[in-house]
Amino acid sequence: MPLAFVLVNAEVGSEDEVVEEVRKIANVKESYAVYGVYDIVVKVEAESMDKLKEIITWKIRRLDKVRSTLTMLVIEGS
């Protein structure tokens, strides 16, 4: 199954709200508010690469208060 980690920058002060909204999205396995260059780390898994792209593009990136994202596609599992 395709897997990706999405790093999210959110509007200042809205990190917890964005984490809660992301957790409501189907196929999101984990999400955490973090310190550093990015505010949130999201683990997303889907049955196909097209579905994975759809979730990231149309659900995560379109959330209010999400300013930018960086997606890292996993190429090999453990």
pLDDT digits (tens, 9 = 90+) for 2-53: 999 999 999 999 999 999 999 999 999 999 999 999 999 999 999 999 999 9
- Provide the domain count of the chain: 1
Q: What is the CATH number of the domain that holds 8?
A: 3.30.70.920
Is 57 among the domain residues?
A: yes
Using 50, 70 and 90 to split pLDDT, how confident is the model at 55? very high
pLDDT at position 43 is 98
Tell me: pLDDT of 77 over 90: no
Distance CA 26, CA 55 (A): 8
Domain of residue 14, residue span: 3-73
Is 78 among the domain residues?
A: no
Distance CA 42, CA 67 (A): 15
pTM for the complete prediction? 0.93
Using 50, 70 and 90 to split pLDDT, how confident is the model at 78? low
Burial class (CB in 10 A: 0-12, 13-18, 19+), 22: buried
Is 13 among the domain residues?
A: yes
